[in-house]
Amino acid sequence: MAAKLAALVVLVAFLAGPAACEGASICFNGWLRLPTFNPWLCSRGSRMRSRSWQRGASPSGLGLGHGYYDNRWSKSYCPRAEVIVRGAVKDAVAAYPGIGAGLIRLFFHDCFVRGCDASVLLTTTNSNNSDTEREGLPNKNSLRGFQVIDAAKAAIEAACPGRVSCADIVAFAARDASYFLSNRRINIRMPGGRYDGRESFANETDQLPGPFSTVTELQTSFTAKGLTSDEMVTLSGAHTIGRARCMFFSSRFSEMDPAFAAKLKAQCNGNDDTNVNQDDVTPYVLDKQYYRNVIDRRVLFTSDAVLNSIKTITQVTENANIAGTWERKFERAMENMGKIGIKTRADQGAEIRKVCSRVNN
């Protein structure tokens, strides 16, 4: 009983900080759905968000470069770095395709909080706090792919210690997962040169758009990172792979295609912790099927369904119907997302970590 009470207190304290609400029951930027309005956890009206959401500058990627580790005259010279990452990802995806979806999601969740600096990997920080991003509501017990990143980092450190950042490994892993899961149809030109951050805080994960987000909230979240509405629609297409817990969509069965809803109800069987495929047509292929699913009302999340709105339906229809359109846009959007909030020098409070889960001494 004491443990449950302590957990509730932690949850209330966590959500009462930078929480976000829509209407009476959707909180923490679309990550928590409450059955009734609770003023302790969510606020109404003009106090919907305590964090300031402003348009961010378009990511410049200044300091990054393609083939960054191939320059033999550079202190960062490590010509096998990207080959090692690709090998680790290839083996992992071949053994279990779902890990590829996890690696793409890991990259997204890293870049949207403190920029692409591998802060999402930390369990030990410069501030010695234990409530890191991995403990945040959108991430806890749901992020996957850490073991792939760690394996690649260990192999790279053995080959050329202290040269390749964990942030770059996360970016390269997402690129390579996209390549293998798309049957080699998606080739992202991902630059390198990121440094690793030294801080990570759970309460900053409210910057991640959640499964209950409206289209306006999605656009606001992406705009704050310097990304466009079209890039938001494009990156949402990654929901064509991976799995999701029933708790994030069981409230909207009545809004789905009836046959699809019936199938999901049977799979969930009343258990909100059950995981189901996000795309039941091509669940292990990174393709444009997601957009057909949006049109046909065969998607899981509110944040997917709302793309079938007047604000975004044109992009959805083009991605669904024109061959190659979404793949090329996804390549550019992933590259652009990889430039968000980067650190490229140690004097920016960053480093090249020796171990990805903890800062250097």
Which positions are annotated as active-site residues? 109
Residue 209 marked as a ligand binder:
yes
**3-class DSSP state of 244:** strand
Annotated ligand binding at 132? The verdict is: no
Sort strands 243-245 and 196-197 into parallel, antiparallel or unpaired: unpaired
Helix or strand holding residue 294 (H, E): helix 289-295
Amino acid identity of 172? F
Distance set, CA 317 to CA 186, 280, 296 (Å):
20, 19, 11
Alpha carbon distances (Å) from 345 to 82, 183, 194, 348: 20, 36, 8, 6
| 74 belongs to an annotated ligand binding site | no
115 belongs to an annotated ligand binding site: yes
Return the closest-CA partner of residue 173 out of 195, 203, 153.
Answer: 153
Nearest Cα residue to 248 out of 275, 219, 214: 275
56 is an annotated ligand-binding site residue: no
Distance between start and end Cα atoms, the chain: 39
Does the annotation list 239 as a binding residue? yes
Closest residue by Cα to residue 360 from 89, 349, 236, 39: 349
Does residue 273 have a known ligand-binding role? no
SS3 77: coil
Separation of alpha carbons 231 and 174, rounded Å? 17
Amino acid identity of residue 286, one-letter, is L
Rounded alpha-carbon distances, angstroms, from residue 89 to 63, 176, 227, 273 = 26, 7, 27, 27
Question: Would the annotation count 117 as a binding residue?
Answer: yes
110 is in an annotated binding site: yes
Is 119 labelled a binding residue? Answer: yes
Amino acid identity of residue 282, one-letter, is T
Give the SS3 label for residue 93: helix
Give the residue ranges of the annotated binding site.
110, 113, 115, 117, 119, 133, 209, 239-240, 279, 282, 287
Residues belonging to the binding site for Ca(2+) are: 110, 113, 115, 117, 119, 133, 240, 279, 282, 287
| Numbered residues of the known binding site for substrate | 209
Please state the residue numbers annotated as binding site for heme b.
239
